[in-house]
Amino acid sequence: MSALSDNLVSFAILAYLVAMISHAVEYALGNARTRVAAAPVRELVGAGVGGGGASVPTPPAPVPPSGAAERSARRARIAGLVAVGATALAAVLHLAALVTRGIAADRMPWGNMYEFVLTVTFIGVAAWLVVLWKRPSLRKLGLFLTLVMVLLVATAELVLYVPIVPLVPALNSYWFVIHVSTIVFASGIFLLGAVPAVGFLMRAGYEQGKRSFPYTLAKRLPAAVSLERLTFALHAFAFPIFTFAVIAGAIWAEAAWGRPWGWDPKETWAFISWVVYAGYLHARATPSVKRNVATWLAVLGFLTMLMNLFGVNIFFTGLHSYGGLD
């Protein structure tokens, strides 16, 4: 069962790769159509962002496409659908890998860093499929999401992998399920939220007429306004869950270590992430703060989450040393 789980992870990575390549193909083929559309969108949104409001750009009048452009647009759409299909397949394989791992270990598969990253990425992709189902127009964001998936799941497989062992007594508590599941869930949503956040920063620059390197990547991303809204919605959804998870952790820490909060490195970084994300939500709600600045805070928040996951497990020793890495 354990070997099956390992194989499933490899297959999931392959499927994410296929999805990423298909998204890239869609991106490349989408050239002809969006080149026409880009210019008017820029002006409209530039005005909307400046006013701090959320005025929605009206789609530009459809330009009658030439035969070649039409063909390439059709191919792009097929590539996009293949990409979504591959992502869904990858998510199923990913879930199967988690379930088999859990069965093999006879516990929830969140006992070490490998399993943790695997679960967080699964939550991220599952939430992405939900978003995609609700808002199919955001599909092109998938390129960046699948890129993140390939990177993180491959890192988990290649660097973080550890064989199955039972939980240490310190983890053997029902709080393990409550605390870790909510942390995993919130982390997965924050992971997904970071993708439109970065996308927004690039796209907003592009719409303001910046044509240097990172901004040109955003040429075919959805409009900055919808990326920004998605960013906020995901963070507003994840933040209370993360808060609950930290509180649950404090309740557990009181039972296990005798104090609800002890500034263990992991706790310190969770505090930092919480403060940064709280800063993002406040900045987002304050009209005088530019949306760019607020979104940078969201990106910074995700960096602190990454630091907490990788940095704290690898560089610091503390009470949360369950990573399984030596």
Partner 1 sequence: MTVLDDRPETAAPAPRRRPNRLLALLRNSWRQLTSMRTALILLFLLAVAAIPGSVLPQRGISPEKVNEYFVDHPDLAPRLDRIGAFEVFGSVWFSAIYLLLFTSLIGCITPRLRDHARAMRSRPPVAPKRLQRLPQHAVLPAPAGGAAAVAEVLRKRRWRVEVRGDEVSAEKGYLKETGNLLFHTSLIAVLIGVALGSWYGWSGNRLLVAGADNAFCNTRQQYAEAKLGPRVDSEDLPRFCLRLDDFQARFLATGQPEFFNARVTVDGPDEPTRSADFSVNSPLRLADASVYLLGHGYAPVIRYTDRFGRSQVSDEPFLTTGDSGLTSEGLAAFPDANVDPATGRRAPDEQMAFTGIYLPTAPQQAPFARSEYPTERNPALNLVAYRGNLGLDAGIPGSIYQLDQRQVRTGKVKEVGTKLLRKGETWTLDDGSKVEFLGTERYVTLSVRHDPGSTILLVSCGFLLVGLMGSLFGRRRRVFFRVMPADPAEGSPTGGSSLMEVGGLPRTDYPGFADEFAQIVAAVSGDERATDRADTDADSSDRAGVREGAE
Which residue ranges make up the site for partner 1 (CB under 8 A)? 52-56, 130-131, 134-135, 165-166, 168-170, 172-173, 175, 226, 229-230, 233-234, 236-237, 239-240, 243-244, 247, 250-252, 254-265, 268-269, 271-272, 275-276, 278-279, 281-283, 285-289, 304, 312, 316, 318
**DSSP H or E stretch at residue 203:** helix 181-207
Q: Is 31 exposed, middle or buried (0-12, 13-18, 19+ CB in 10 A)?
A: middle
Judged by CB, which is closer to partner 1: 64, or 258? 258
Quote the least distance from Cβ 14 to partner 1, whole Å.
29
Quote the least distance from Cβ 205 to partner 1, whole Å.
21
Judged by CB, which is closer to partner 1: 4, or 256? 256
Maximum C-alpha span of the chain: 72
Tell me how far apart the alpha carbons of residues 245 and 181 are, in angstroms, rounded to a whole number.
Answer: 8
Q: 199 near 141, Cβ under 8 Å?
A: yes
Quote the least distance from Cβ 208 to partner 1, whole Å.
20
Q: 198 near 227, Cβ under 8 Å?
A: no
Q: 319 near 109, Cβ under 8 Å?
A: no
Judged by CB, which is closer to partner 1: 150, or 171? 171
Judged by CB, which is closer to partner 1: 196, or 205? 196
What DSSP string describes 192-257?
HHHHHHHHHHHHHHHHTT--SHHHHGGGGSPPHHHHHHHHHHHHHHHHHHHHHHHHHHHHHHHHHH
Three-state secondary-structure class, residue 258? coil
Quote the least distance from Cβ 184 to partner 1, whole Å.
18
Judged by CB, which is closer to partner 1: 9, or 224? 224
Judged by CB, which is closer to partner 1: 151, or 275? 275
Quote the least distance from Cβ 56 to partner 1, whole Å.
5
Quote the least distance from Cβ 80 to partner 1, whole Å.
19
